[in-house]
Structure 1
């Protein structure tokens, strides 16, 4: 008689997942997802970030389950994976903040002493900061850093066509955001 995945031990599920059993891996994820999400939420302090971190941990778990040695408990290993994902997200956020600030300063410096241009540039920069992450990244890389779409695609680990699409969508959204800012 075969045990249901819900009745199987973590060690059994890990062994089966290492051998490529997707159902066993799915059972592990289902069993430990709330634990990972709770840790991510406590460390990040933000539910949206916690969801992103938990999903990232699940991906990392899938990539590295075969190298899990079992020296410590599985939850200890999950703590480490989750903390690494939290740290990676924090480092990424810090890099994005530095890039965004640098781009804003550079654009303001390039505008010169014209206060009307400064105000327009600041309004545009404020709108760029409100774009979704991928669109903002594409705009920063292509217009802020002067990268070609292909080079930006490499940096973002997406296709060149996707970078072009993000730029196109960002332009449409920026028009709306700048127009709304002017009405306030």
Structure 2
């Protein structure tokens, strides 16, 4: 189904492209939110990703899954957002709850959750990407490796190093 939509979108079918965006938007937004930690910036990043997808869809060659390609674009846009924020002197406060639930978490659990994801956001880029993909997006190391464009063992290494760093931060 996705492959057919991609082909149609690559040939200029606006309805197919709209369907692809609708299918991917929650994942794009969720990934951006986990990266930056607040809803407003996540919305901006998600919108930028959608625009970028419109410009780049013709270049999608199908060597990876469409969802992996979208993740890669989303992570790149989030990195660009972060770099731009640093240049402007802006610092994102990571006080958003990462995984909302139907029931409100206890204040202690919410604070711990915010601290953890705030610490994750302070990790070096590759470690942060690996942790977000493996733990927040619940992908396996092979899927994360495909998205990050690295070997599965390298993802494992980055996750291991992130754990060591996080132990020191928390």
- The Cα shift of 1:97 comes to 1.0
Give the alignment partner of residue 49 of structure 1, picking from 24, 41, 45: 41
> Any residues of structure 2 matched to 1:37-116 within 5 Å, and which?
37-97=29-89
Cα deviation for residue 77 of structure 1 reads: 0.4
Taking the aligned partners of 2:81 and 2:44, their CA distance within structure 1 comes to: 9
Residue segments in structure 1 that go unaligned for 5+ positions in a row: 1-8, 99-184
Give deviations 1:5-55, integer Å, cap 9, x for gaps. Answer: xxxx11000000000000000000011100100111011111111100100
Matched with 1:28 is 20
TM-score (norm 1): 0.48
Q: With CA pairs under 8 Å and 6+ residues apart, which has the higher RCO, 1 or 2?
A: 2
- Whole-Å Cα distance in 2 between the matches of residues 46 and 40 of structure 1? 9
SS in 2 for 1:29: helix
Q: Which runs of 4+ in 1 moved over 3 A?
A: none
Task: Write out per-residue CA displacement over residues 106-158 of structure 1, whole angstroms, 9 at most, x where no aligned residue.
Answer: xxxxxxxxxxxxxxxxxxxxxxxxxxxxxxxxxxxxxxxxxxxxxxxxxxxxx
Structure 2: distance between partners of 1:79 and 1:28: 13
CA distance in 2, matches of 1:91, 1:23: 34
Partner Cα separation in structure 1 for residue 17 and residue 37 of structure 2: 28
**If the length of structure 2 is used for normalisation, what is the TM-score?**
0.52
Report how many residues are paired.
90
- Supply the RMSD in Å over aligned alpha carbons: 1.0
Q: 1:44, 1:69 → 2: CA distance?
A: 29
Could you list the per-position Cα deviations for residues 69-122 of structure 1 after superposition, in whole angstroms to 9, with x for gaps in the alignment? 010111110111000000000011011118xxxxxxxxxxxxxxxxxxxxxxxx
